[in-house]
Structure 1
């Protein structure tokens, strides 16, 4: 995707309060990236190189990736990992898969094996402890997959212990309110891609807009050819930080860009610092 259509890379920095975060983990730094869609069309090599450089410059304790590394064909993952192997962090790189990483029957295994070959650990309904037992990291199966069963994973956790959850689709936050989630990291929405300042993602008004356009006109507008309103139920969680009940959710706008491009919604690398008041 040409930079004129995607916009320049934005580095978002925020501090997230984690109740009961142990003193040893105060100031822990996370880098979050999502939705690369590395297929030769939706992400330029220059932006990918820049995103990796930004991540390394942050000197993170942990790099977290939340899915959609490819678009449909999984084979570009083998070129992508040649770039991602340059990611640096103290405690490793962890990932979950997105719906596009499951497009074909072979996709899950191929994408997972490629990431594993460069020591990026893919969590599929699994719990890991890269920062120690005092802050578990949960990676869930994609929300649209048949294996999205958070109960089986979340019930293994002690509700008195803080945790971080990786889940590609932010709609999962609605279900995850049943458990303690101190920070859920998601992607999937691309931030809505086309955003009107003070109003929000245009896609929130998709159905109303489509009804008012002649059918012949709709065919010529790429953004309206597919029902983008079905990407998520909760478009109000399209990007940024949200409280969902007592849980905390952050949605990354992603690096890849679909046609017709982005407007007031730049691609993103997120740097998160954990603290406890």
Structure 2
């Protein structure tokens, strides 16, 4: 997609406090990228290369990818991994899948195989320990899949230990409130894509705005025909850092873009530093 409809890459940096974080892990640096939608239209090669270079320059301990690597056809994943293999990280690269990554019956296996072929660990209702036993990394099945059963994973964890949870769809934070989640990393929303400075994502006010547009006009505009409630319920979590109960959630705006493009909502690479 042309940069005018996407915007320049933005690098977001934040520090997140993790209760009971071991002293040896204080200062741990994570890089998160999400929603690449690599299909030849929604993400330029230049943007992708810049995002990878930005990640490498940060010298992260861990790189996190939070889903939607393709849009529908999984075939472009084979070209995408040729770029993603350039990512560098001390403790590895970990990923979860998004709803677009399971679009076709074959998609999940094809995308998982392509990512693992370059050393990216794909977590699907699994727990990994790239930073040691004291900070588990949980990767959940996509919320829209039939295999989204967080209890089967979360109940395996010691409640006294901090943990990071990867879940593509921020709506899952509502379900995860019954467990300890020191940091949930999500994507899916593209930040709302259309943002009014000082107001926030337009989608938060979508229903109020749409009701003022005549139905005959709405029917002619694809972006207005569908229900955004089907995409996500909690649009108030469309981007950035949030508390959900006592849990902490960060939502990455993603790199890829859908028509009609982005407005004051640039593509994002996130650099997160953990502190106790």
TM-score bracket, shorter-length normalisation: over 0.9
**Mapping 1:53-64, distance limit 5 Å:** 53-64=53-64
Q: Give the 3-state SS of the residue equivalent to 1:206 in structure 2.
A: helix
**Mapping 1:137-216, distance limit 5 Å:** 137-216=137-216
| CA drift at 1:94 | 0.2
RMSD of equivalent CA atoms? 0.9
Alignment correspondent of 1:259? 259
What is the TM-score normalised by the length of structure 2?
0.98
Q: Distance in 1 between matches of 2:103 and 2:261?
A: 23
The count of corresponding residues between Structure 1 and Structure 2 is 276
Alignment correspondent of 2:113? 113
* 2:52 matches 1:52: yes
Deviation string 1:38-69 (CA, Å, 9 cap, x unpaired) is 00010000000000000000000000000000
| CA drift at 1:198 | 2.1
User: What are the ranges of 5 or more consecutive residues in structure 1 without an aligned counterpart?
Assistant: none
Alignment correspondent of 2:100? 100
Contact 1:222 1:259 in 2 (8 A): no
Alignment correspondent of 2:66? 66
Q: Distance in 1 between matches of 2:138 and 2:155?
A: 11
Q: Distance in 2 between matches of 1:94 and 1:217?
A: 44
Q: Distance in 2 between matches of 1:213 and 1:22?
A: 54
| CA drift at 1:5 | 0.5
Structure 1 runs (4+) greater than 4 angstroms displaced: none
Q: Distance in 2 between matches of 1:209 and 1:24?
A: 50
User: What are the ranges of 5 or more consecutive residues in structure 2 without an aligned counterpart?
Assistant: none
Deviation string 1:61-112 (CA, Å, 9 cap, x unpaired) is 0000000000000000000000000000000000000000000000000000
Q: Distance in 2 between matches of 1:158 and 1:106?
A: 35
Alignment correspondent of 1:221? 221
Q: Give the 3-state SS of the residue equivalent to 2:27 in structure 1.
A: coil
Q: Distance in 2 between matches of 1:88 and 1:222?
A: 40
Q: Give the 3-state SS of the residue equivalent to 1:12 in structure 2.
A: strand
Q: Distance in 1 between matches of 2:205 and 2:245?
A: 25
* 2:81 matches 1:81: yes
